[in-house]
Amino acid sequence: MAVNCAAGGGAVGSLPCGDCGPCRRIAAGSHPDVLVLEPAGKEFRIDQVRELCRELALKPYEGRHRVALIAGAERLNPHAANALLKVLEEPPERTLIVLTAPQAADLLPTIVSRCRQLRFKPIAARHLAAILERAHGVPAAEAEAVADTAGGSVTRALAMLRQGWPEKRRRLLAELPELAGGPPLRALLLAASVSRARSEAEEVLGLVASWVRDLAFAAEGVAHLVNRDVRGEIAEAAGRLPGDFAPRAWEALQRAERRLAANVQPRAVLEALFLELAAAGSLPARSGAGAVNPSGNPG
């Protein structure tokens, strides 16, 4: 965006406006001079790389610069990497080739030696929300919610949108207050409905964390909540659940994160977490001044 922005002038170090035609087309993935290459399956095929080299030999269509993004370059096998060497060594004029990888050590040394290394920082949640809103037409509340969970990555945010995350999030946020203090069966059914993939389980943990944080903040009267669109429901739950629900839920979440990182099955992780949330919501308050116990147990 910075090198093709119509407003920024393309000067070294200038930031893209995010609003002009080229910026919007780049953010929407429809700019003809921004080529994104992703692996076909587990690895890049050599003909994908050859096709890219052929395209790069042509002049840019409309941009001042052409940009080729090779996303996940750690999945270039040696043949595909070798096919890329020549164009990396002598890139066509006005062409930027960007290879992303978790770390340089994941790439062949012959590739690394032909590149300059840059560290890409995660994008701040509010900037990410603005990108989703302006370039992708995502409603503000949804954009903020996705940005909060996407870990600063546009790619991840867009994947979450494609996979219907806003809808899943709404459903989970409606379900969580019922789950806390509810019957165990409810917890098991909820786990069964969301836990197909590890990445989805991670997103669910992120969402539960934001909900628990909001509950704790709401109980203390803090106005700034992450899930602002369900502020009323969160305030209601904060008033109803035992005073020590949030710290107990937080401990359960940390256990769940450790278990997911240790490769325990996502569904088993979520079942245990939701059962703990159900139990924590039905315990008599230990210290919650003003908290109302919904379960009717003598407290």
Contact between residue 244 and residue 282 where contact means Cβ atoms under 8 Å apart: no
Nearer to Zn ion, 65 or 228 (CB): 65
Nearer to Zn ion, 16 or 288 (CB): 16
- Given the rule CB under 5 A, which residues bind Zn ion? 5, 7, 16-17, 20, 23
Shortest distance (Å) from residue 155 CB to Zn ion:
20
Query: For residue 37, what are the β-bridge partners?
Result: 70
Shortest distance (Å) from residue 50 CB to Zn ion:
32
Handedness of CA 254, 186, 142, 204 (dihedral sign): positive
Shortest distance (Å) from residue 8 CB to Zn ion:
6
The radius of gyration of the chain's CA atoms, rounded to the nearest angstrom, is 24
Nearer to Zn ion, 9 or 109 (CB): 9
Nearer to Zn ion, 8 or 288 (CB): 8
Phi and psi of 261, rounded to 5°?
-65, -25
* 3-state class (DSSP) for residue 69: strand
Shortest distance (Å) from residue 166 CB to Zn ion:
27
Element (H, E) at 98: strand 95-99
Burial of residue 4, with CB atoms counted within 10 A of its CB: 0-12 exposed, 13-18 middle, 19 or more buried: buried
Shortest distance (Å) from residue 39 CB to Zn ion:
30
Shortest distance (Å) from residue 200 CB to Zn ion:
34
Q: What is the DSSP string of 252-270?
A: HHHHHHHHHHTT--HHHHH
Nearer to Zn ion, 66 or 169 (CB): 66
Nearer to Zn ion, 5 or 207 (CB): 5
CA dist 254 → 67, 147, 193, 209 (Å): 41, 21, 21, 9
